[in-house]
């Protein structure tokens, strides 16, 4: 059957048509990307997507949103859009739908795509196992964390708030980083460091150590300078970012299993060439008595171009694997 699949973030909303059958995504159409700030609500953006296609939309939908899925009213983390789950089907004109957290959708994509959509970062270059727990970690505007539980009879996604555990410094520079962050935040979570805004926090700490001027410009410009290598201190900050991401990914793997890890998220994809060459692997494995075990875990990066859209469709396919009359 054909469905609408949507990936709604704080800045952009993506829509596409998808074909699902017997619990699987058969095809994903060309995505349409919109700025959420250009539309008053999900409903008006939904109507704009239909107008773009020039046809009536299917009456089934999979919707992933950047917010926890709980309560009578859901507000996106970085957008004024408000959603009321009880009224969503009526407002969108759909008969069947699933609503899930955007990072849970990423985890569904990890469980649904084939091995060609993964690149190895470190550890053995082997496929993800068919059973057990796979941790999914995604740095972006924040830090998404989910667990994919694979069992003989199928698989389940467990959405978590693992990005909000405490940041644990591992050397003197990170001690300085934590001290600076505590001046702004009473409690410093790993999301404050291992996310888009975290690069600036690291850069400012290094600038303070070297008695340099604080960087100007926005976070996007800083990331560009680091990735293009035009600012040596930004490059050093990015190296530090990769170290912290490795440490956090290793901690999450231990907490969930330990088991394999998949890195996702917008920043994860931008770092796909750098991570295997960085200090990520050493920090991932540096877990004391568990170091040998950690080095044996495959750590991969999902390379699918639209994992949120694909994963939302996969969640719908799983929920309605018996047909639209399934519950």
Shared domain for 1 and 55, answered yes or no, is yes
CA-nearest of 291, 207, 199 to 245 is 199
Shared domain for 18 and 90, answered yes or no, is yes
Q: How many domains does the chain have?
A: 2
Q: State the CATH number of the domain containing residue 251.
A: 3.40.367.20
Shared domain for 287 and 181, answered yes or no, is yes
Shared domain for 176 and 292, answered yes or no, is yes
CA-nearest of 5, 18, 23, 20 to 318 is 23
Q: What is the pLDDT of residue 327?
A: 40
Q: What is the pLDDT of residue 325?
A: 58
Q: How far, in Å, CA of 132 to CA of 111, rounded?
A: 12
Q: State the CATH number of the domain containing residue 15.
A: 3.30.420.40
Give domain status of residue 277, yes or no: yes
Shared domain for 188 and 316, answered yes or no, is no
Q: Which residues are annotated as a binding site?
A: 6-11
Residue 4 half-sphere exposure, CB side, CA atoms within 13 Å?
Answer: 31
Q: What is the pTM of this model?
A: 0.91
Give domain status of residue 188, yes or no: yes
Q: Which domain holds residue 33?
A: 1-102+306-327
Q: How far, in Å, CA of 84 to CA of 63, rounded?
A: 13
Shared domain for 54 and 7, answered yes or no, is yes
**Cβ-Cβ contacts under 8 Å for 212 (sequence gap 6 or more):** 206, 233
Shared domain for 88 and 28, answered yes or no, is yes
Give domain status of residue 220, yes or no: yes
Q: State the alpha helices, DSSP H only, in 62-210.
A: 85-92, 102-112, 172-182, 198-209
Shared domain for 74 and 203, answered yes or no, is no
Give domain status of residue 260, yes or no: yes
Q: How far, in Å, CA of 15 to CA of 52, rounded?
A: 11
Give domain status of residue 117, yes or no: no
Q: Which residues are annotated as a binding site for ATP?
A: 6-11
Three-class secondary structure of residue 59 per DSSP:
coil
Q: How many Å separate Cα 126 from the centre of its chain?
A: 22
Shared domain for 239 and 311, answered yes or no, is no
Three-class secondary structure of residue 7 per DSSP:
strand
Q: What is the pLDDT of residue 326?
A: 42
Residues pairing with 25 in the sheet: 20
pLDDT tens for the chain, residues 1 to 327? 999 999 998 788 999 999 999 899 999 999 999 998 899 999 999 999 999 999 899 999 999 998 888 889 988 766 788 899 999 999 999 999 999 999 999 999 999 999 999 999 999 999 999 999 999 999 988 899 999 999 988 899 998 889 999 999 999 999 999 999 999 998 999 999 999 999 999 999 999 999 998 777 788 899 999 999 999 999 999 999 999 999 999 999 999 989 999 999 888 999 999 999 999 999 999 999 999 999 999 999 999 999 999 999 999 999 998 777 544
Shared domain for 277 and 236, answered yes or no, is yes
Give domain status of residue 26, yes or no: yes
CA-nearest of 229, 238, 298 to 262 is 298
**Cβ distance 239 to 279 under 8 Å?**
yes
């Amino acid at each position: 059957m054909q469905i609408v699949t949507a990936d709604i973030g704080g800045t952009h909303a993506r829509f596409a048509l998808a074909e699902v059958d017997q619990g699987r995504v058969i095809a994903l159409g060309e995505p349409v990307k919109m700025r959420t700030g250009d539309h008053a609500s999900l409903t008006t953006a939904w109507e704009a997507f239909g107008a773009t296609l020039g046809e009536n939309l299917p009456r089934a939908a999979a919707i992933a949103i950047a917010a926890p899925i709980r309560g009578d009213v859901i507000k996106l983390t970085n957008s004024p859009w408000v959603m009321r789950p009880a009224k969503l089907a009526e407002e969108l004109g759909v008969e069947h739908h699933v609503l899930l957290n955007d990072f849970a959708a990423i985890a569904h994509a990890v469980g649904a795509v084939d091995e060609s959509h993964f690149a190895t970062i470190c550890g053995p270059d082997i496929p993800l196992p068919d059973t057990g727990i796979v941790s999914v970690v995604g740095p972006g505007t924040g830090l998404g964390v989910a667990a994919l539980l694979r069992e003989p009879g199928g698989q389940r996604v467990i959405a978590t708030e693992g990005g909000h555990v405490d940041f644990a410094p591992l050397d003197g520079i990170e001690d300085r980083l934590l001290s600076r962050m505590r001046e702004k935040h009473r409690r410093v979570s790993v999301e404050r460091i291992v996310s888009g805004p975290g690069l600036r926090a690291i850069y400012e700490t290094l600038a303070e150590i070297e008695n340099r001027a604080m960087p100007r410009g926005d976070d996007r410009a800083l990331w560009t300078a680091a990735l293009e290598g035009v600012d040596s201190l930004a490059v050093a900050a990015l190296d530090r970012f990769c170290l912290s991401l490795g440490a956090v990914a290793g901690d999450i793997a231990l907490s969930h299993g330990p088991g394999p890890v998949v890195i996702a998220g917008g920043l994860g994809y931008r770092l796909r060439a750098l991570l295997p060459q960085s200090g990520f692997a050493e920090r991932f494995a540096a877990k004391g008595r568990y170091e040998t075990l950690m080095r044996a875990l495959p750590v991969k990066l999902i390379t699918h171009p639209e994992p949120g859209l694909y994963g939302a469709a996969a969640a719908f396919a799983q929920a309605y694997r018996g047909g639209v009359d399934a519950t």
